[in-house]
Structure 1
Amino acid sequence: MKYKDYYAILGVERMAAQEDIKRAYRKLARKYHPDVSKHTDAEDRFKELGEAYEVLKDPEKRAAYDRMGTHWRSGEEFQPPPNWDEGFEFSGAGQQDATHSSLNEFFEAMFGGARTAHAQRRPSHAMGEDHHAKVFIDIEDAYRGAKRSISLQLPVIDAHGHVSLQSRTLNVSIPKGVRAGQHLRLAGQGGTGIGDGPAGDLYLEIAFREHARFRVDGADVSLDLPVAPWEAALGAHVTVPTPDGWIEMTVPKGSAGGTRMRLKGKGIPGNPPGDMYAILNIVLPPADTDSAKAAYDTMRQAFNFDPRARFYG
């Protein structure tokens, strides 16, 4: 999607107070309203103003927009930065889908639908809103369970009408077997109730931090396992790391590069547990000494082997 500078569209500074944003929108909306404006692009400008205002008038959407960064230029291809929403606490529960055609649709998907749902089921006179945030954990935490301190930032309007981030830290128990996309409910940690009503709940969406070795797909885990050519050709017993420790695995003789070795039940714990896959990556030793070069030459003479025999058809 294309990036749009909503502050430039409304003609305000990034540090503008919420009241300044409202005032700027009203002024420009009157100027470019299609029913009264004589500008040839009035309709397009009016729609663009409405899109910008829908985001910047809302403290949560505005804070999320600001977290995307300030280096983007209007019209250039744009994707939200990876993990931009880590620890970002908000009172909606929409899906964060970066495939929308406009930034406004992106924010509506994040916040809009959830607020409608909340308004339908929330007791209007008492219950505080539920809050949501995405938190990242290590894959090892899902194997063993853990207690972690997490930091969250909630957008609020300060005494001067500016949007700021209010930080808090919570101690959270990560259950064994939790999977990406699951939500942990922290009762009473959401929005403040109205009057004497109880606070809402906080729902933490679980995601895994990128790991140097392991990749996660649902309950299954995979890694690339380096093996020597003779281990793949002749078979071998090798030690393989898992997020829960090291295990022994047999590489069958005649294994090809890219072969997926299944380690049943060694994925993320559960009922049933996931599996782990070791994907064989044949690593060639370097020919960086005379003896190594001689060994490669001996191999060349020993095999009647053309690696491109099938390549040419």
Structure 2
Amino acid sequence: MAARRDFYEVLGVDRKADQDEIQRAYRKLVRAHHPDVNKDPGAEDRFKEISEAYSVLSDPGTRRRYDAFGHDFRQVPPDVDPAQWARARAGRGGQRSSAGTQDFGFGTEGFGTEEGIDIEDLLGGMFGGRGRRGWGPVPGADQEAELTLTVEEAYQGGRRSITLPGGRRLDVAIPAGVTNGQRIRLAGQGGHGSEEAKRGDLYLIARIAEHPRYRVEGRDIHAVLPLAPWEAALGATVAIDTPGGEAKLKVPPASSTGRRLRLRGRGMPSPRGGPGDFFAEVRIMVPARLSEAERRLFEQLAAVSAFDPRGRS
């Protein structure tokens, strides 16, 4: 398996970057690599990689764990000292362990252990060879699984019954405002520990499914706003559906196709800060068939208007 890229490298930011820099980098990359706008075959995998990196680095606590332990941070027990961990890794010469990690049905990738490191073996090296037998119970490993949500489910939150690999079923509380790539932690639902040690945690990675009307970027939601020619030319107040319900949107006069109108705070809610925005992109529509009266009016407009949409006048 190819080594996973450093999350800072994925976002193209320095390891000392502040949260604003990380957010700006994420938004720029999402716009470029979202599968809805980038049809490159590798765009979806790149988009998932970007979302995962942002979900880790945007949370200060998770970022500290990642800085200390790298991609192993979800598997390392919370009371392990980073310096001891680094010395143990260095003492092993960075080699892969042949004592393969226990498989709980999620696959190797689900543990974030692409290096193939056995946590119990490393802990034993830290404490003078007293590992699984001499040191006592070893906590269970954390695990991951994907959770696919509709835009409405991610916006509103709620409860879902899910089936995990191996057939285990769980009733999951989904917080309102989940973003693509965000992790939902289920404490004590991960791998079994040795002896009487506590179980690890299960992290559900949210994946927001494609939607016929909405496109989600971070906490911002985008949609198309169809307008009649006269609404776009004269201005109007129109109704538009959002995941949070119907909203009224004021369309300024002389709005051409492609103009973006913003509804502040009507994007994805956030439990730790302000919500995103809702962006409506104008698209001018004409009737599929014109009545005789409509045709006459359009002909009159064509006769009196000096407007040239191609800018040649």
User: Which TM-score bucket, shorter chain as reference?
Assistant: 0.5 to 0.7
What is the root-mean-square deviation of aligned Cα atoms in Å?
Answer: 3.3
Question: How far apart are residue 241 of structure 1 and its match?
Answer: 0.8
Maintained 8 Å contact 2:154/2:208: no
Question: How far apart are residue 210 of structure 1 and its match?
Answer: 1.3
Please say if 1:183 is aligned against 2:183.
yes
Q: What is aligned with 2:114?
A: 113
Q: 2:306 aligns with which of 296, 304, 311?
A: 304
- Counterpart code for 1:248: K
Q: Output the CA distance in 2 between the equivalents of 1:280 and 1:81.
A: 27
Q: Output the CA distance in 2 between the equivalents of 1:145 and 1:306.
A: 48
After TM superposition, the structure 1 = structure 2 runs for residues 30-179 of structure 1, keeping only pairs within 5 Å, are: 112-113=113-114, 116=117, 124=132, 125-153=137-165, 166-179=166-179
Moved over 4 A (4+): 77-82, 107-112, 117-125
- 3-state DSSP class of the match of 1:273? coil
Q: What is aligned with 2:288?
A: 286
Maintained 8 Å contact 1:139/1:243: yes
Question: How far apart are residue 132 of structure 1 and its match?
Answer: 0.3
Question: How far apart are residue 112 of structure 1 and its match?
Answer: 4.2
Maintained 8 Å contact 2:141/2:201: yes
- 277-286 or 292-301, which moves further after superposition? 292-301
Q: Output the CA distance in 1 between the equivalents of 2:309 and 2:179.
A: 42
Maintained 8 Å contact 1:286/1:292: no
Question: How far apart are residue 183 of structure 1 and its match?
Answer: 0.9
Question: How far apart are residue 309 of structure 1 and its match?
Answer: 3.2
- Counterpart code for 1:149: S
Maintained 8 Å contact 1:265/1:274: yes
User: What's the CA shift string for 1:178-216, capped at 9, x where partnerless?
Assistant: 222211111121112222222211111112121111110
Unaligned runs of 5+ in 1: 1-50, 52-76, 86-92, 95-106, 154-165
- 3-state DSSP class of the match of 2:240? strand
After TM superposition, the structure 1 = structure 2 runs for residues 199-238 of structure 1, keeping only pairs within 5 Å, are: 199-238=199-238
- Counterpart code for 1:139: V
Maintained 8 Å contact 1:148/1:174: yes
Q: Output the CA distance in 2 between the equivalents of 1:117 and 1:297.
A: 77
- 3-state DSSP class of the match of 2:308? coil
Q: TM-score, normalised by structure 2?
A: 0.57
- 3-state DSSP class of the match of 1:258? coil
Give the number of the structure whose alpha-carbon radius of gyration is greater.
1
Question: How far apart are residue 81 of structure 1 and its match?
Answer: 9.1
Maintained 8 Å contact 1:142/1:269: no
User: What's the CA shift string for 1:74-98, capped at 9, x where partnerless?
Assistant: xxx986999xx9xxxxxxx79xxxx
Q: Percent identity?
A: 37
User: What's the CA shift string for 1:275-297, capped at 9, x where partnerless?
Assistant: 11111111122344433433332
Q: What is aligned with 1:277?
A: 279
User: What's the CA shift string for 1:208-254, capped at 9, x where partnerless?
Assistant: 12111111000111100101111011000100111010011110111
Q: Output the CA distance in 1 between the equivalents of 2:197 and 2:175.
A: 30
Total equivalences in the alignment:
204
Q: What is aligned with 2:198?
A: 198
Q: Output the CA distance in 2 between the equivalents of 1:284 and 1:194.
A: 68
Maintained 8 Å contact 1:287/1:296: no
Q: TM-score, normalised by structure 1?
A: 0.57
- 3-state DSSP class of the match of 2:204? strand
Change (3 A) 1:234 1:295: same
